[in-house]
Chain A
Amino acid sequence: MLKTLTTDFELDLEADVLVIGGGPAGTWAAWSAASSGARVVLVDKGYCGTTGCAAASGNGVWYVPPDPEARETAKASRESLGGFLSDRSWMDRVLDQTYANVNQLAEWGYPFPTDDEGKPYRRSLQGPEYMRLMRRQIQRAGVKILDNSPALELLVDDDGAVAGATGVNRQTGEKWIVRSQSTIIATGGCAFLSKALGCNVLTGDGYLMAAEAGAEMSGMEFSNAYGISPAFSSVTKTLFYNWATFTYEDGTVIPGASSHRRSVIAETLLQQPVYAIIDKAAESMRASMRLAQPNFFLPFDRAGIDPFTQRFPVTLRLEGTVRGTGGIRIVDESCSSSVRGLYAAGDAATRELICGGFTGGGSHNAAWAISSGYWSGKSAAEYSRSLGEYKTQRQVKGVGEVGLHSGSDRSQTLATDEIIQAVQAEVFPYEKNYFRTEQGLTESLGKLNHLWQELRSSRVKSDNELIRAREAAAMVATARWMYSSAIERKETRGMHKHQDYPELDANQQHHLISGGLDRVWVKTQPLLKSKIQNPKSKIGVAV
């Protein structure tokens, strides 16, 4: 049993700011905190530079020059798709910050291409290159990186403020503790080990840890994102399916199926295989496609398929809250959660503020990671400074529970793999998660609640299983917030498709806040109408 202050830690560190997660949001947070003069430790379950969905793929960026007309178009284009839940002032902030930070990337040496007119083109980032650069930059800024070091639980002080985390090095088994004045959760979303490209490190760990410290979620009903991939492959990159024709096995075109109307594909997949062919791409474009997204073609080249001339089977892989928009609720412009000392950034945080209830795909999420990472880092550093001498005198304790017990006080041994399969069986199927019904959601929730009880009353066999057990617990908790919220939203809005309530209901133009562990709760929260508060007075203050 890994219990804080009673266990010896092989690695015991102090920091002003602890960043959990080493993808785009985590690295931007670490860079901005370190640049503000904070001592920063960044821990990652994997390796900072290759971890997370951006590193493995890359994507567009919501990068719009400060031209009023272009900005207006950028903001307006998604408002109705998102079900009118986004907030224009947040969009403005994100557009401004993203523009500045992407230009910073160019100064750091990211090799942006030039367009036809010889102008730099900065609306696309290739993941491996981007994240390798970010790792180098945070190292230069003095950030201490612990790779292969998943956090297992947060630490809180006597007043309930978050004060660091403990975890384990998954390769050496050494336990670590980082005592910090503030903590940023940048652990990404949750894709339930679906093998969507780069998403298997994203198991909702940060949500669980944050909730154990008392944080709330927002928008968890917007969690049914599915990406198109060849049926045999992990490569869920959907841009090029804009030029695809979708057919049945016999080659007949499936009416209405397109990359924008994935529900038609999902409906068909419930009955029979679906095939695609990228035959609408003109010859002249094919070379450009290869140069734009080399990894899209990798599985095809290796499987001996020419996707422009040969049909291939496709599937939809769940991307859950990675390309959904739900996550930890943000309470102010500092990207603070509702718990003192705890901030959230990137996909771990709600993206409803800029996307409403419909995925921004890669580009909005990339922009959000950059800007929320930047703000949370800066704010966490300021908050740490504000604590002054008090910071060294705090008594702290770990607040993690479910999945952390390897002691002999519980009789039942945790069947981790079975729990994971059981939660996947509730969130993967299109008929349960894509096309939601009152009855289906209720049945799933019953099973998920039962799984939670099982986790609650079991112990893990050994310390080696702690990491996977915590992932299992995080996935079950995430699924319960998702479906509890989905039941409360009795309408169809954004990506949330409710079969029993197929229309958008003007009376439900609000956010759904959720939380709780043994007892999950959901409540409505009216939209904030663009109340920009003075960031200085808000930083670090719980609301």
Chain B
Amino acid sequence: MIELVSESRCIKCNICVNICPTNVFDRVPDAPPTIARQSDCQTCYMCELYCPVDALYVAPESDVTTSVNEAELAEVGLLGSYREKIGWGHKRTSTAKTDQTFQILKQMK
């Protein structure tokens, strides 16, 4: 579930509010969005992908809430890690280009 909107990183663009498929966030004037309906989060990670400044963190647990520490997440490189993996963001190339599904399917009998 979505667990973090980083106060320090957020630029208040509200893209996450707009693109969340299940409407989890609420916009707040002059402040980062709030996680208004956390239990509606379907843990699809789309908000992380669309956040231009890696200010969001979706914990892998989809049915229970967990506590997260922003400094630790940043330290181990988990803030924005999915966006990096699929090659979205400034000066990155989409990793769809290097999709290796054909290698996998060759091994399937």
Contact = CB atoms under 8 A, between A and B. Distances in A.
Contacts of B98: 113, 291
B99 to A, nearest CB: 5
Contact of A46 (B22, B50, B85, B104): B22
B17 A56 contact: no
Given A111-B97, A201-B22, A292-B101, A232 B86 contact: no
A126 interface: yes
A116 to B, nearest CB: 8
Interface residues of B, number: 42
A285 B86 contact: no
B23 to A, nearest CB: 6
Interface string A295-311: 10111111100000000
Contacts of A291: 95, 98-100
Contacts of B40: 200
Contacts of A56: 21, 42, 44-46
A292 B85 contact: no
Given A233-B60, A233-B61, A294-B95, A123 B43 contact: no
Given A124-B101, A201-B21, A233-B61, A111 B108 contact: no
A283 B101 CA distance: 16
Contacts of B103: 116, 285, 288, 292
21 contacts: A47-B19, A49-B19, A55-B21, A110-B96, A113-B96, A116-B103, A121-B99, A198-B42, A200-B44, A232-B61, A233-B61, A289-B100, A292-B104, A293-B101, A294-B95, A295-B45, A298-B85, A299-B60, A301-B78, A302-B60, A302-B81
Interface residues of A, number: 57
A235 B44 CA distance: 8
A47 B15 CA distance: 11
B81 to A, nearest CB: 7
A50 B81 contact: no
B49 to A, nearest CB: 5
B78 A302 contact: yes
Q: Which residue of B21, B64, B82 has the most chain A CB atoms within 10 A of its CB atom? A: B21
Contacts of B17: 171
Contacts of B22: 46, 200-201
Contacts of B43: 195, 197, 233-235
Contacts of B7: none
B19 to A, nearest CB: 4
A350 B105 CA distance: 27
Interface string A265-277: 0000000000000
B18 interface: yes
A52 B44 CA distance: 10
Given A195-B62, A285-B107, A303-B60, A50 B20 contact: yes
B42 A295 contact: no
B76 to A, nearest CB: 9
